[in-house]
Structures are given as structure tokens and as C-alpha cells.
Chains A and B, each alone.
Chain A
Amino acid sequence: MSSEYPPTLPAEYADIEFENNAQRLPLVLCLDTSSSMAGPPIQTLNNALVEWTRELHDDVSLSYSVEVAVVTFGGQGVAAWRGPQPLAPGTPVSPFVPAHMFRPPQLAAAGVTLMTEALELSMQIVAARKAELRASGLQYYRPQICLVTDGIPTDATGHRTDAWHRLVPVLAEEQNARRFRLYAIGVGGITDFGEQVLRAFAPKFNATIQGFPFRELLQMMSASANAEQKGAGDEVFEKIFSQFKTQRPAWES
């Protein structure tokens, strides 16, 4: 949505020099790009990212505040993306891009589901970004991590693994300490076991959604970012999330 506000400053204030010091809201999209997402699902995701990016650019209240990083798990392992560019592992470059400059990656689906490692990478980049923001004197809101998967955690050979158990107490502690909000969303043909994993990761904010409603999912993340900026209470986030969970097309109910 565009602002209705006057775009230009009155002449007597035109010479004010502003710093780019908006309060930041780091947002990580932690996306499953394993082989089960191949075909229409990954295409739907790519299209949704393009449309969401356009909306984000147009939202005056989010475009200079939200910073987007993408983490994918698929192919041979996990990857962090800086906008459309995958970053080499261990690179010191931050994957976070201000929303007004963000361009979405073109994702392809293949390979295994290193969900545990992807979440660990997401937590690492959030902690590193907070440290950078503090060092540069910038204020920030509680970051958001959105995990999206249609599968179950596997090892690098594609076999189901229990390694994800090690994450459960870590995530519980991190969420309890309010270091970030974690949303865990199961899509497509996710199994009961897959749902169980998401419930363990994000006891409050987990959902299983029919099909691949990535547009609605990304809009929910924007709504949540808005609520965060407003300083809304937890009940507001729960309401936003439950609206997202129940907005199934009429033919399903």
C-alpha cells in the first residue's frame, strides 16, 4: 500500500539531512527446497516471493525497517542468500538486505532436507545481525524466523534422522528468552511425523496448511512485522496466526 502522505518536504525543511537509522526488524525465511518441492510448489513459492517483494517495497512502514534474509535447505545442504545471490559458506557478508532493496532469489528444488542445520544457520545469522546492529548503534525489534517445509528432517544422504531432537531444548530456551519469534509452517503433503517436528520446534506458532499458500504465508509475516512495530501483545500475534491457519478456501470446509 502506498502512503497518502505528502511525498516531499516543505521548503523550509528541505535541507534536513536524515540518517538511514530506521529501527530494524530482521526477518529470516527458512525455506524447504528439497526434491519434494519440485515442480509447481517451488514455482508457486518463487511467484509468491516476487509479489511479496513488490508489496514490501510499497509499504512505507516496512520497507526501511524490515531486513530480509533467505535460508534454504535442499540440494546438497543449506544455503544463506543475500537477495538473489547465494552466499558461499562461511562468508563474512551478512545475508540481510533492507526490504526496500530486497530482490527475491529464483529457487530450484532438489536434494535432501537438512531442516535442523537450516534452523541452526537461521539462529546464527540472527544473532550475528543483532550484534552488528548493536555495534552500529541501531535499535531493533524482535526478529522473526519463518520455517516452511513439506517434509521431515533428513541427513545429508536423505535418510530420516533424529538429529532435530538436539534443537528442541535450544529453540525452547531461545524463544523463552524472546530472542526471536519462530513460525513453523507445514505445507503440501507433510506427514503426521513432519507436523510433530514442527510442533516441537514452535509450540505456539506451528501450522499445517493444505496446498502451498505461500502468498498468504508471506502476507502473514508482513502482518506480524507490523504488529511487532506497534509493540503489540502476544495475543495479537496469536490472532494473526490463527487467522492465517483458518483461512482455508471454502471448498475445503
Chain B
Amino acid sequence: MAADRAGWRIHGMSVEGYRHRRDGLPCQDACAHTDAGPVAVLAVADGAGSRPRSDEGSRLAVELAAEHFVRRAAAQAPSPPGEAVHALLVDAYREVTKVFLETTGASAADFATTLTVVVLAPDWLGHLSVGDGFVVLRAGSEDGERQFHLLPQPVAAGEYSNETVFLTSPDAARWVHTDCVADPGIDGVLLSTDGLAQAALSRSGGGATTPNASFVDAVFRSLDTPGPVSEAAHDNLAALLRSDRLTALNADDKTLLRAVRRTRR
């Protein structure tokens, strides 16, 4: 999928991981994006591996998120940014959850999925996440090196890396994390599910988690080329996400949705 509106060039995909491919199972990740006027919305979701219909759940979650977040943000994009943005994000999230639970009914838990959303408005960037998806921003440079920033993630749900919170978790609202960033220097945004956490993030030394600059720089750079995303560029990203090198780090499904500014301000 690709788009070139609202001032941003947007492109991304979800690919099935090694284990799902081997077992003939569908990709349980999904991503979507949309725009309305000057606002763009990007969403990624990771369906729970232990749930039978989580591939449908992740797809439903990103579609609902694209629809509801863009409608609210385009109708009344708050300015200046601040509390009003957090409120807008939480309200849109409530709408998404409501429709999600109405649609999936009594078997909602079978559709369990995480959800990470970014709203790109002219004066701010809003981020809402439930579960272990993550967002990296490109903004500014130091000594000629582009700078990358990992947005804060919700606190880990448990000791083990395969435990997380889902949209359908009974107390999900407690675990929803929101951010509002106002920085005109942001010219790249990357959303991903936890399948890329090892490749795109660095946890060395037990200190804070930071972006793996060589990874995020490469995937942003390939989208900086002006004009529509070529078939070769699309295939190359798919080949990267399916490579043995990434599979060795994480055999789960992978999603990468990225946006770069068409023209730097």
C-alpha cells in the first residue's frame, strides 16, 4: 500500500513470518492508512498467535482505527496541541473498541489483537497504543547524522516477551498509552508490531531501548526517493522483512508502515 497525500509519502506492508508460512497459517499482522484533508492516520496491529481469528481481528482493528481516528482528527484537529489531543485519541479509541466488540460479539476474545495508531496533523503528531507495537520518529540531525526517537511504549504486561495486552483484554483501557508530539522537524514516522522489535530497536547494555539507527535509517531512506513507490522498492522491503537474517531474530509476522514528508519544511 502507498499514498502520497496530506504532505506525507506513506508505504508499508505486513508479511507472514517463517512459522506461519511453514505451518500454512495466515499472516496475523495488519496495517492500514488513510488521510482526510491535511490529516493522515497510520495503524498497525498484531493478532494474538493463540487466538483462532486474530488475523481478522488485526485487519478489523486497523480499518476501524483508520476510519475513526481520521474522522475525529479532520473534524476538529485541536490546536495548540496538548490535553485536547490526548482526549481526541482516547475518544477515537473508545469508538474503535465499541464497534470492534459489537462486530465480534461474544467471541471477541478469538479476535484478540494489539493496536498502534499515529495521527499526523499539521501541528502535532498523536500516538495511541495498546499492546507491544512501537513507533520510531526521524527528526533533526546531529553532526550530520539523522536522529531517531522511539516513542514511549506502554509498560510490559509480564515477565515474558510473548505476553501483552490486547484490544479485547477486559482491562485494556487501563493499558492504553497516548502521546502528543509537537515538533515541525519530524520528517519520518515508522510504525511496527513486535515482530520487528529486535531488528529495529536496540536494547544493548540493559539501558533504555533506542532505535537501531542503521535499520530505521535504511527503511526511511528508501522512501525518501521522490515520486510513487516503485515495484522494486516494494519488493525489496518485502524481501528484507522475509529474510533469514530477520527471521533468526524473530520468526513472527512482521509489519512496517512508514511515512516521510514529501518536502521538508
Contacts and interface: CB of A to CB of B under 8 A. Distances in A.
A164 interface: no
**Interface magnitude class on chain A:** 35 or more
A61 B160 contact: no
Contact of B248 (A22, A136, A178, A236): A22
B155 interface: no
Contact of A1 (B22, B160, B242, B250): B22
B130 interface: no
A19 B219 CA distance: 17
Given A9-B239, A13-B218, A229-B252, A23 B198 contact: yes
Given A18-B212, A140-B161, A3 B50 contact: no
Contact of A18 (B50, B203, B209, B249): B249
9 contacts: A1-B22, A9-B243, A10-B239, A13-B240, A17-B214, A18-B245, A22-B250, A136-B206, A178-B160
B203 A138 contact: yes
Nearest to B212: A19
A99 B134 CA distance: 28
Contact of B214 (A8, A16, A229): A16
Nearest to A21: B198
Given A13-B236, A142-B160, A229-B162, A21 B252 contact: no
B222 interface: yes
Interface residues of B, number: 45
Contacts of A127: none
Interface in B9-41: 17-19, 21-22
A135 B206 CA distance: 5
Give the top 5 A-B pairs by smallest Cβ distance, nearest first: A61-B251, A137-B203, A139-B161, A231-B162, A10-B236
A215 to B, nearest CB: 20
Interface of B: 17-19, 21-22, 48-50, 159-163, 197-199, 202-207, 209, 212, 214-215, 218-219, 221-222, 235-236, 239-240, 242-252
Nearest to A177: B159
A39 interface: no
A17 B19 CA distance: 24
B243 A6 contact: yes
B50 A230 contact: yes
A65 B248 CA distance: 8
Given A3-B18, A141-B162, A230-B50, A19 B242 contact: no
A89 B160 CA distance: 29
A228 B242 CA distance: 21
A243 to B, nearest CB: 15
Given A6-B239, A137-B203, A19 B198 contact: yes
A163 B199 CA distance: 47
B243 A5 contact: yes
Most chain A CB atoms below 10 A, which of B19, B48, B162: B162
Contact of B204 (A6, A7, A137): A137
B241 to A, nearest CB: 10
